[in-house]
Structure 1
Amino acid sequence: MRVHQSDTNAAAESELHITNPADGTSVGSIAKTGEAEIRETIQRAREAFPGWRGTSAGERGQMLRAAGRALAEREAEVAELHRRETGKDLEGALGGVRAAVDTLLQYSELAPVHRGKSLLGSGTSLDVMRPEPRGVAAIVTPWNDPVAVSAGLLGAALAMGNTVVHKPSERCPHLGVLLGEILAEHFPHGVLSTVTGGAREGEVLVGSAEVDLVAHVGSTHAGERIARSVALTGAHLVRENGGNDALIVDSGVPVQWAAEQAAIGAFTNAGQICTSVERIFVHRDIAADFIDALAAEAQRWDAEERVPPLVDDRMRDEVHEQVRSAMDRGARARVGGVVPEGPGSRYPATVLEACTPDMAVMREETFGPVAPVMIVDDFAEALERAAADEYGLSASVLTPSLGHAHAAIDRLAVGTVKINNVFGGAPGGAAQPRGRSGAGFGYGPELLDEMSTVKVVHLEPVPE
């Protein structure tokens, strides 16, 4: 049978084709969910909501716990698919799955003890603030840590009594479908569903008037599009989007340690972490030695093959374009900055020196293993330049000065400030991003507040 080009194009537009970022081999194709089916899925979630809301918090927690244990039993299968579809190394993928299991178990325990508040009224009345589920939740998740992030949002929403329609990233749809199949088996029909697709399918989902809550983790561009859609429906929106996270390297710190911290922040998972170090401001007193040490770290990371591939060629092209643009404007690549030959979408750990604030690598999220460095005269200048940003996700400061640390905590308008450890932090924290990075608590116990709404109740007896 002869296949017409128009038929081929139609098939391509209705499917997602995924290749392994490590070697370019095919992972497979998966059909996008059609608009009518997305709306039917939302309607099923709407119909399931009254029953799920009426299920006690303890019972919901038991089901969520069973789902978490089921995921743990299949961690190797999920991690392997994660590796093939996103390029994450197997150890990191397995760590993400285990973090997802821990998160599901955490919310299974936290939600049943999530408390409202009692209010001080008259002696003959009862006044309380009662948390209630919001309704149907549309949850849109990313590809860079897809299992752990999805588990957090899905777990919190389900535990609080919402029904969920989940759209995983179009860059890892097979993984999202597998996760949905594993979890959904432990909930009543319609309580948890998965749809697939790209931006168009996502817009159908989040723009539905039948959706009461939208939670999104992903790019700023996508998040701002979602915010415009949700503004028309009135749904509650939680979003954690991109960042342009600064690292300040103050004088007086051990140079080798500072370079190691910068490398961890910029190169871990090939820089594909929303809180990766995106721009570095180093004090002139130690700049030369720091850049030398950071370049050596980048070479070591590449030699030890610690930098995984970027998620696909499109992402690598975007990263390289920012690097090329910076070099056209006067930046110099001490290490990296060249697209390697061969299959896959690898990009080397790259250190750029002589960077200036007008360069895209200093103004925008690069989302690749790139460490752009700008030299500053003192800590005050570093703090001023770090604070001059439209984003507000996180920032890191390496300094021996307690006064400088306090100044950074006070001045940097970000959700998280990390002092002397680029990825440090106790468990259970819940930050609120600012600016173009989003809004609302995206994780931690406080996410349960985002997934619920509060009703004030005043109760008095009938007069005798």
Structure 2
Amino acid sequence: MTMTRLDPHDGSHLGDVAVSDLDAVIAAVRRARAAFGAWSTTAPADRGAALHAAADALETRLDEIADLNHRETGKTPGDSRGGAEAGIGTLRQYAELGPVHRGRALQGSFTAIDYAIPRPRGVVVAITPWNDPVAIACGLLGAALVTGNAVVHKPSERCPHLGELLGSILAPCFPEGVLQTVSGDHTTGRALTEQADVDLVAHVGSTAAGRAIEQAAALHDTKVIRENGGNDPLVIDRDVDPAWAAEQAALGAYANGGQICTSVERIYVHRDLAQAFTAELVKATEARNESGELPPLVDTAMRDAVHGQVADAIQQGATVEAGGEVPSGPGAFYPATVLTNVEDSMAVMAEETFGPVAPVCVVEDFEEGLRRAAATSYGLAATVLTGSMDHAQRAAATLPVGTVKVNAVFGGAPGGAAEPRGASGHGYGYGPELLDEMTQTTVVHLAPPRAQA
């Protein structure tokens, strides 16, 4: 059985990749278990050195990786290269953080002490997405490997060629069996998560897939960390510049064609600013559509899903201010789209769209914006644009999300981490905290022996 991938730019045939069947999955997990023992006892500094070697190997193939990412997922050349560079940087980050990862100590009395030792979990399954396939994979693989785990990686079925290339570059930097790649769709993923000899599953992808993984893993008490879908709001206060707010909204909604977990999915703008903001957003949207720089969606199935939400909103009374129509011609392109007169009950507001759509809802005040922004089952991130410190602090204190961004839709310190909530998942997926997720703690109570009489 094989998977076929088409170029999302023009629909041309990219190639076929063999699907890993159940026997291949079982064999990969067994090889990982066999390799785990020696790798788990390798000195942390040596594991860090192996990660540095993997980063070097990836860097020498950067152009090849970036080109294939562009052709297989539709990301722009700049974003494709940037994602690969971010992956290299993440491998180097974990190469340095891993050897200094440590537990804590607590002195219970003058002569006794408790100390915690982080131990690798064992066999880690990493299931990664297509929308930022190199950076996300390098994060999960790097944290798992540097802490002494053996890893079986299943990249998304929407970028199997890229996943196989990435595995072929990274795996030789580690001992045999420590890092393996299997290819396939949800069937392969389910087979992996149902293996009793898997100790942790790390998943980045859709909420539906994450929940299915968690149910399968629960049969063997396998730990799961997952960062899943988002429905991130943008709340715009009355005291900000409407042109700047529109550029922030356009960046948040249209970057990578809206195919980012933390894309702006719904906009709540103060009534006093709504007219000027919407006019500026339409202007920014039309400029993006006319520039030809907006990337295609990953495939026509994703485009159909995005347009389905837009069409449903229009049928329920939403107004199209820009975009909103499937273009003619080959590929999976969809225009940047602005909708007004939307309601929270519409799918385009209530669900993750994952496309270049900016639905704008007018609110009476900042408090209403916060309240409606919080009314969702997702809990990934949220952004507020405000000149009020009080409003910024209130947003940080009340929005039930892993990350609250103030006056910038994207950004964050290098090595930063966040913990999603609700339908968006749970567990840390980035930063130093991911090293904690990839290990389990043994606590030792050490007291002096009783001396002989």
Structure 2 length normalisation: TM-score? 0.98
Give, in angstroms, the shift of residue 57 of structure 1: 0.4
Unaligned 5+ runs, structure 1 = 1-13
Cα deviation, residue 126, structure 1: 4.3
Question: Map of 1:231-380 to 2, 5 A cutoff?
Answer: 231-380=218-367
Deviations 1:191-247 (A, max 9, x none): 000000000110000111100011000011101111111121111111000000000
Aligned equivalent of 2:13, options 26, 31, 47: 26
TM-score, scaled relative to structure 1: 0.96
Bigger Cα displacement from structure 2, 177-186 vs 115-124: 115-124
| Correspondence for 2:61 | 74
CA distance in 1, matches of 2:382, 2:114: 42
Structure 2: distance between partners of 1:47 and 1:74:
30
Query: Aligned partners of 2:369, 2:449: CA distance in 1, in Å?
Result: 66
Instruction: Give percent identity, aligned residues only.
Output: 56
SS in 2 for 1:408: helix
Cα distance, 1:306 vs. partner?
A: 2.5
Q: Does 1:439 align with 2:426?
A: yes
1:181 aligns with 2:164: no
SS in 2 for 1:287: helix
Q: Specify which of 27, 31, 34 is matched with residue 47 of structure 1.
A: 34
Count of residues paired in the alignment? 451
Give the partner amino acid of 1:208: Q
Amino acid in structure 1 at the alignment position of 2:130: W
Q: Deviations over 1:330-367 (max 9, x none)?
A: 00110000000000000000000110111001000000
Matched, 1:451 2:438: yes
What is the alpha-carbon distance in structure 2 between the residues aligned to residue 119 and residue 281 of structure 1?
Answer: 48
Moved beyond 4 Å, runs of 4+:
none
What is the identity, as a one-letter code, of the residue corresponding to 1:23?
Answer: D
- Separation in structure 2 between the aligned mates of residue 291 and residue 186 of structure 1, nearest angstrom: 52
1-structure distance, mates of 2:172, 2:113: 40
Residue 108 (structure 1) aligned with residue 95 (structure 2): yes
1:84 is the counterpart of 2:55: no
Distance 1:323 1:119 in 2: 57
Equivalent of 1:127 in 102, 114, 120? 114
Query: Would you say 1:418 and 2:427 are equivalent positions?
Result: no
One-letter amino acid matched to 1:111: G
- Please list the CA deviations of residues 309-328 of structure 1 after superposition, one character each: whole Å capped at 9, or x if unmatched: 00000000000000000000
- Say which is worse superposed, 99-108 or 122-131, in terms of deviation: 122-131
Q: Residue 5 of structure 1 aligns with which residue?
A: none
Opposite residue 292 of structure 1, the aligned amino acid is A
Residue in structure 2 matching 1:150, options 131, 137, 149: 137
Separation of aligned partners in 2, 1:123 and 1:56:
32
Larger CA deviation: 259-268 vs 303-312: 303-312
Aligned counterpart, 1:405: 392
Please name the residue that 2:46 is paired with: 59
Superimposed CA distance per residue, residues 437-456 of structure 1 (whole angstroms, 9 cap, x where no aligned partner)? 00001000110000000000
Question: How far apart in 2 are the matches of 1:127 and 1:371?
Answer: 53
User: For the residues of structure 2 that align with 1:125 and 1:333, how far apart are their CA atoms?
Assistant: 70
Which residue in 2 is equivalent to 1:10?
none
* Residue segments in structure 2 that go unaligned for 5+ positions in a row: none
- Residues of 2 paired with 1:215 and 1:378: CA distance? 40
How far off is 1:462 after superposition? 4.2
Distance in 1, Cα, partners of 2:168 & 2:446: 44
Measure the CA separation in 2 of the matches of 1:118 and 1:428: 25
